[in-house]
Amino acid sequence: MKKLVLILSGLFLAAGASAQTDVADARTYGIGQTVTVVAVATNGSELGPIRYMQDGTAGIAGYGGPITGVNRGDSITVTGPLIEFAGLLEISTVVSVTNHGPAVIQPTPIQIPITSANESLESQLAEIQNVTFVESGNFAGNTTYTITDGANNLDVRVNSGTDLVGTAIPSGPITITGLIGQFNANYQIVPRDLNDIIAYVAPGIEINVELEGSTVLNNSDYFIGNNSTVNVTIENQGSNTMTITGATFTGADAADFSTNIGATTIGAFSSQSFTINYAPSGTGSHFASIEIGSDDNDENPYVINFEGVGTDNLATEPSASPGSLTFPILEAYTLGGQYSAGTGATKYLVLWKNGSAITGVPVDGTSYLRGDMVGDARVAYVGAGTSFTPRGVIANQDYYFAVYAFNGQGGFENYLTTSPSTGNVTSLGQNIGTYYNGISSSAASLPTDLYNLVNPHTQISYFLYKQTMMSEFEIRDTTNGQSYVTCVYSGERQIFDDPFDWTATGYSREHTFAHSWMPSWPADNPEEPEYTDQHNLYPANLANANTPRSNLPLGEITGTPVFNYLEGSVGQNAGGQMVYEPRDSHKGNAARAIFYMVVAYDFPFNGDQSSDLQDQDVLKNWHFSDLPDNHEIARNEYIYDLQGNRNPFVDSVHYACFIDFDDNSHIASPSGCDLSVNEKNIDSRLVVFPVPADDVVYVQVNGIEIEAYQVFDMQGRVVTQETGVSLPMLELSGESLGSGSYIISVDTEFGSAKRKLIIQ
């Protein structure tokens, strides 16, 4: 059993192909990082636009783009960015695929028990023997079924493109072959056709080895730590008697290991118990492999690689820290870092902090998870990879990082705490550029001009919101490796174990401009752009925020609320109308989302569905009292990247004064609208782009002319300055400034503001 075939990835290639990164390495890269792998596709079009693929090291899924033309068995070179979709690691929106033709050697399914279908084997081709289906009847497409071994269950996903659809579900024991997938918290096996589900026939001789009650696959690793004794069970899952010829240890520290596994026989469907003993002869990490001989032809010997710790109860400390920390991905809403490997290191701990250099240092013998605090910093990544993508990046922030090398696990970690690789980077701000060229708030055509500006745009499915806004932006890290999401209305922080799931957390995608207000209602079948627009959707607690809000207008409650959950309430406004009042920090965001929907889809408040439902004066007051912060700026930039359009009311807060949202018309001379500009407004409007810059830096204060500016170095010395200018946009030469970090201060008739800029 458990035929873990470790074939060199090069053997999978057609002539002339070469690997840049093996799949196991690619799986350690940070989300958003681009990887290139050479592997063999293990499915074709029967599973839709996804292709599972593997080399001799691991498996990974690829989705979309040119990979959809790949056939099962093709050797391919695939390049694209990593994402996690409902827990499944994928190379998504594939950039390029080179098809080398049918592979010389095809991957062999690894034989596993149900309990081994987990993250370590994700996307690999596997075979599970002697299981039965819980359900009866016929297979339907795009449906999940269950197999059981009598004690454990596993999901089976039947796709509509397979020839399984419409056939009878087997009633007796089966052997099933398929790809190990994941959907939310559940792992699954995905068969490809009728040949992947056959009647089970017991093998003649089949060895299986358990350590401390759990199967350890052939040629896999086992961390023994400082345990002096490990219980071993050798099973014969075949119908004939199995002969064990004995066991030997090999490797650098083989003398520290011993076992009572000797020559013996094990009857059909029987097992015997043994022990492995470990007595380290010194400090640091100790390595050895056991080889168990038997007459199982395809798994002789059965090999398990052990790692233990020495008499100091710590792994060996790395001899050199990682180096060359760089940030190849940098946006207002995300960043990605990478570093060179440390010497003698197997794993890395990445710490990050906003605002100042890190002073926290990891402690030997301590296991850290993503989100844990280490002194004044938080863990951004822990693992074997040399790249990372921290979660929770927002605009215009100075982020500092420290990368430590270490070895060991399970409380036996040994960190090299001297000279970690350090670096800092500033996340980008608004990337407005020339987006609003030709747009004038004084033009009678302003609503139409904005409509034409934001349309057409890329439509993102409502179903994909979990992957886009949740997984890639809204979800944040907390301690113990857990995550949390914030309800925009109530301020609740819901903690959960990854991956995020709507049902498990009790959350939903809330339409700020209510779905029932839309003249196209119902607009979800088929999905219309107004229903799926990411600018209008926010995460909210379903039972305690989304449902109470329903399609109520947003407003200010006077008197005692009739419903309250944390910072969100339902009650009557001054006119006796029932309204929903969200937390203060979301009021401006909600107002700008609704303004956007009115303009983007010509949905005025006095339209067919939304007559008298929303007071625009309340929203305009919220708009100015809760101006866009760096979180909202980052969100706007991310959606711009997704949909290709921006929310004008986030970028230029004064646009709202010139639009009557009751009929989506222009207001030539606004009254009753706060058009005042103060220092806070100036700071929110100041844009420096790009950061970092190579040659030219663009500086603008949206809608306000720059009268003077000064550029300071980090010691406070004036590098360049100019007064008496009148510019809507300032262009600075990076070459004249020179490489380094600077602070630019701009003066306007309404006040001054400062921002950091970096020249590479």
Is residue 157 over pLDDT 60? yes
Render pLDDT for 613-632 as a digit per residue (tens, 0 to 9).
799 999 999 999 999 999 99
Helices marked H in 266-310 — which ranges? none
What is the reported pLDDT for 8?
33
Q: How far apart are the first and last CA of the chain?
A: 56
Segment among 474-488, 522-536, 707-721 with least mean pLDDT? 707-721
Mean pLDDT of 302-326: 97
Segment among 270-284, 550-564, 637-651, 715-729 with least mean pLDDT? 715-729
- Band (pLDDT 50/70/90 cuts) for residue 681 is low
Is residue 611 over pLDDT 60? no
CA–CA dist 55, 12 (Å, integer): 7
What is the reported pLDDT for 511?
97
pTM for this predicted structure: 0.88
Render pLDDT for 393-427 as a digit per residue (tens, 0 to 9).
999 999 999 999 999 999 999 999 999 999 999 99
Q: Which amino acid is at 405?
A: A
**% residues pLDDT > 70 (the chain):** 95
Both tokens assigned to 179 = 């790809």
Separation in Å, CA 35 to CA 13, 80, 341, 505: 18, 6, 17, 32
Buried b / exposed e along 389-412 (16+ C-beta atoms within 10 A): bbbbbbbbbebbbbbbbbbbbeeb
Determine which helix (DSSP H) or strand (DSSP E) holds 508, and give its type and residue range: strand 507-511
Segment among 564-573, 596-605, 723-732 with least mean pLDDT? 723-732
Helices 584-601 and 630-643 pack at an angle, to 10 degrees, of 30
Both tokens assigned to 225 = 């730590």
- Band (pLDDT 50/70/90 cuts) for residue 750 is confident
Helices marked H in 613-723 — which ranges? 616-625, 630-643, 648-651, 679-685
Is residue 741 over pLDDT 80? yes
Mean pLDDT of 290-312: 97
Dihedral angle sign, alpha carbons of residues 5, 2, 27, 156: positive
**% residues pLDDT > 90 (the chain):** 81
Cβ atoms of 185 and 497 within 8 Å: the answer is yes
What is the reported pLDDT for 248?
98
What is the reported pLDDT for 18?
38
CA–CA dist 241, 359 (Å, integer): 62
3-state secondary structure 10-67: HHHCCCCCCCCECHHHHCCCCCCCEEEEEEEECCCHHHCCEEEEECCCCEEEEECHHH
Largest CA distance in the chain: 96
Cβ atoms of 259 and 229 within 8 Å: the answer is no
Cβ atoms of 530 and 603 within 8 Å: the answer is yes
- Band (pLDDT 50/70/90 cuts) for residue 5 is very low
Render pLDDT for 490-531 as a digit per residue (tens, 0 to 9).
999 999 999 999 999 999 999 999 999 999 999 999 999 999
CA–CA dist 716, 710 (Å, integer): 11
Secondary structure E strands in 323-368: 323-330, 335-340, 347-354
Render pLDDT for 319-353 as a digit per residue (tens, 0 to 9).
999 999 999 999 999 999 999 999 999 999 999 99
Cβ atoms of 217 and 110 within 8 Å: the answer is yes
Nearest to 743 by CA among 707, 719, 722: 719
The residue that leads in pLDDT, 569 or 8, is 569
Residues 6+ apart with CB under 8 A from 669: none
Mean per-residue pLDDT of the chain: 92
Segment among 176-180, 236-240, 426-430, 481-485 with least mean pLDDT? 426-430
What is the reported pLDDT for 523?
95
What is the reported pLDDT for 15?
36
Is residue 703 over pLDDT 90? no
DSSP character at residue 639: H
Pairing of strands 110-111, 74-85: unpaired
Q: Which amino acid is at 144?
A: T
Is residue 674 over pLDDT 70? no
CA–CA dist 254, 246 (Å, integer): 16
Domains of the chain as residue ranges with CATH: 9-102 (2.40.50.200), 110-199 (2.40.50.140), 207-309 (2.60.40.10), 334-426 (no CATH), 446-666 (no CATH), 679-759 (2.60.40.1930)
- Band (pLDDT 50/70/90 cuts) for residue 313 is very high
Is residue 390 over pLDDT 70? yes
Both tokens assigned to 517 = 């207000």
